[in-house]
């Protein structure tokens, strides 16, 4: 098998050839991305999207969300599920940001911080874990950080980057140590697509996979 850094480069090279190179663009400003990410936990993209849109329609500003009765925030985000826990969590996070940022509800100050410092700040917020922090850093700030969701985790352990037992939280660090910075965004996007379409959780389509000959799991099937 290839050494991890060479494996990462080869994975990106082959998937670039199949799907073309993903180009980074900012999805949302960092505060919006953070709230959307909290809403996305333990629910579908469609439901979390509806919850986010209802929240923005119901409250004109983030200050209004922070200061509203929690029950009203709950009602706005109910389509996303777990509203009784997500509403107070969002308000607590907003209060923590306002306190840190002299009353201003914005995470734009993260742009002036190096990646490690920005990550530490995000992880200091109530209920924000490695995956949420990585999503904000990657998709809002364009930093070379790999959010590890279920697809990235599954494809990566099958390829042989780490043992399945390490868990998603540790996988962030392990992948960032071996994936070249210039390939981080493409690696993340490609592995999500590959996990959804080819390297599925149940009945992976190994016979159709362009990575099979460099994949530890694929090779074990021969």
Instruction: Copy the structure tokens of residue 150.
Output: 């279920």
pLDDT of residue 122: 97
Q: Rounded to whole angstroms, how far apart are CA atoms 179 and 169?
A: 16
Domain boundaries, the chain: 4-23+147-220, 30-140
Q: Does domain 4-23+147-220 have CATH number 3.30.420.40?
A: no
Instruction: Copy the structure tokens of residue 50.
Output: 């509806």
Per the confidence metrics, is the pTM higher than 0.85?
Answer: yes
Q: Does domain 30-140 have CATH number 1.10.340.30?
A: yes
Mean pLDDT by 10 residues, the chain (222 residues): 93 97 94 96 89 96 97 95 95 97 95 96 93 95 94 97 91 94 96 97 95 94 74
Q: Rounded to whole angstroms, how far apart are CA atoms 153 and 157?
A: 6
111, 131, 165, 200: the catalytic one is 131
pLDDT of residue 36: 96
Q: Rounded to whole angstroms, how far apart are CA atoms 168 and 222?
A: 28
165 catalytic residue (yes or no): no
DSSP per position, 150-190 = HHHHHHHHHHTSS-GGGHHHHHHHHHHHHS-GGGHHHHHHH
Q: Is 55 exposed, middle or buried (0-12, 13-18, 19+ CB in 10 A)?
A: buried
């Amino acid at each position: 098998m290839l050494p991890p850094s060479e494996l990462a480069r080869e994975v990106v090279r082959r998937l670039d050839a199949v799907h073309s190179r993903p180009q980074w663009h900012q999805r949302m400003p960092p505060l919006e991305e953070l709230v959307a990410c909290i809403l996305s936990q333990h629910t579908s993209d469609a439901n979390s999207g509806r919850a986010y849109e209802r929240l923005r329609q119901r409250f004109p500003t983030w200050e209004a969300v922070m200061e509203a009765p929690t029950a009203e925030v709950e009602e706005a985000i109910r389509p996303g599920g777990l509203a009784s826990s997500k509403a107070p969590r969002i308000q607590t996070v907003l209060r923590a940001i306002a306190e840190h940022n002299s009353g201003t509800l914005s995470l734009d100050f993260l742009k002036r911080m190096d990646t490690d410092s920005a990550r530490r700040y995000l992880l200091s917020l109530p209920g924000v874990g490695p995956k949420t922090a990585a999503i904000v850093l990657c998709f809002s700030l364009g930093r070379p950080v790999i959010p590890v969701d279920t697809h990235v985790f599954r494809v990566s352990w099958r390829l042989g980057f780490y043992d399945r037992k390490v868990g998603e939280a540790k996988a962030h660090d392990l992948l960032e140590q071996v994936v070249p910075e210039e390939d981080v965004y493409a690696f993340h996007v490609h592995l999500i697509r590959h996990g959804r379409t080819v390297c599925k959780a149940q009945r992976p389509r190994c016979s159709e996979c362009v990575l099979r000959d460099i994949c530890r799991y694929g090779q074990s099937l021969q």
